[in-house]
Amino acid sequence: MENKLRVDVLTLFPGMFQGPMTESMMWKAQDRNLLDLHIHDIRDFSTDKHRTVDDAPYGGGGGMLMRTDVVVRAVESLVTPGTPVILTSPQGRVFSHAIAKELAGYDQLTILCGHYEGIDDRVRQLVVTDEISIGDYVLTGGELAAMVIIDAVVRHIPGVLGAEGGADVESHADGILEGPHYTRPPVFRGLEVPQVLQQGDHAKIAQWRREQGLRRTWQNRPDLLLRARLTDDEKYLLAVFADEYNHSQ
């Protein structure tokens, strides 16, 4: 039986999810009944006629904060015991391939999109179980971060990608970037597809792709190599790349 993931998103701007969450793989995941996505407007959980969701912070300071009573009411109306409640926040753990795979193991996720200057900290104490940041920069709200998290998580649900296990051979799956890819025509403006890819020897192709992935990682993201699991042969290749670079200078 295929896995199905329910994701509830709490946001002040539900319209932002139209498009990114209704196209491409996200649409396919929902059409195949693998993703059950619900977008909730936090304003619907306000109790006054103005649908107020924010207020000025105690102690002064700029900006507004999302109110505890409204946000907690919204979260508690959705979650079941054991459901992770994720706050998109610059204070959270930095999102990664490993975290996406971890979250894909749940049956249900709730994502709370931060906005304004943040939320009343009592929300963290009462209902939030996890905080995730998608990078060390500031966005106007947590909606884009929520979309990134959902997209990365859903790709790990069996049946979402065309080829089973496809998510495990992509960049970052094992700490190494993917190497170059090619398709027809075999020659374009004097640039030819590498012969090894045209000869049908799958063992040699796999070796070539791994070597090119290592080279690209060494060139573009050497920081990833510090935590990648490498064989002795692959470590030797890195030394060869470094030697080639030194001789080219």
Give residue-wise pLDDT tens across range 26-53: 999 999 999 999 999 999 999 999 999 9
Query: Is 66 in contact with 120 (CB distance < 8 Å)?
Result: yes
The predicted pLDDT at position 239 comes to: 96
The predicted pLDDT at position 172 comes to: 64
Taking alpha carbons only, the member of 98, 92, 137, 133 closest to residue 224 is 98
The region, left, alpha or beta by phi > 0 then psi within -120 to 50, assigned to residue 232 is: alpha
Q: How far apart are CA 23 and CA 11, in angstroms?
A: 20
Q: How far apart are CA 112 and CA 107, in angstroms?
A: 17
- Listed in sequence order, the residues at least 6 apart from 12 whose beta carbon sits closer than 8 Å to its beta carbon are 41, 42, 43, 53, 113, 115, 141
Q: Is the pLDDT reported for residue 185 higher than 60?
A: yes
The predicted pLDDT at position 47 comes to: 94
Taking alpha carbons only, the member of 191, 32, 7, 201 closest to residue 113 is 7
- Per-residue confidence at 2, pLDDT binned at 50, 70, 90? low
* Mean pLDDT value across residues 183-189: 96
The region, left, alpha or beta by phi > 0 then psi within -120 to 50, assigned to residue 51 is: left
Domains and CATH numbers, the chain: 5-154 (3.40.1280.10), 187-248 (1.10.1270.20)
Q: How far apart are CA 9 and CA 146, in angstroms?
A: 8
The predicted pLDDT at position 95 comes to: 97
* Mean pLDDT value across residues 151-161: 94
The predicted pLDDT at position 38 comes to: 98
Taking alpha carbons only, the member of 143, 144, 161 closest to residue 26 is 161
Helix, strand, coil distribution of the chain in percent, nearest 5: 40, 15, 45
Q: What is the pLDDT of residues 85-128, one digit of tens each?
A: 999 999 999 999 999 999 999 999 999 998 877 899 999 999 99
- Per-residue confidence at 169, pLDDT binned at 50, 70, 90? low
Q: How far apart are CA 208 and CA 64, in angstroms?
A: 54
Q: What is the pLDDT of residues 191-224, one digit of tens each?
A: 999 999 999 999 999 999 999 999 999 999 999 9
What DSSP letter does each residue of 113-143 carry, written as one string?
EP-TT-B-HHHHHHT--EEEESSSS--SSSH
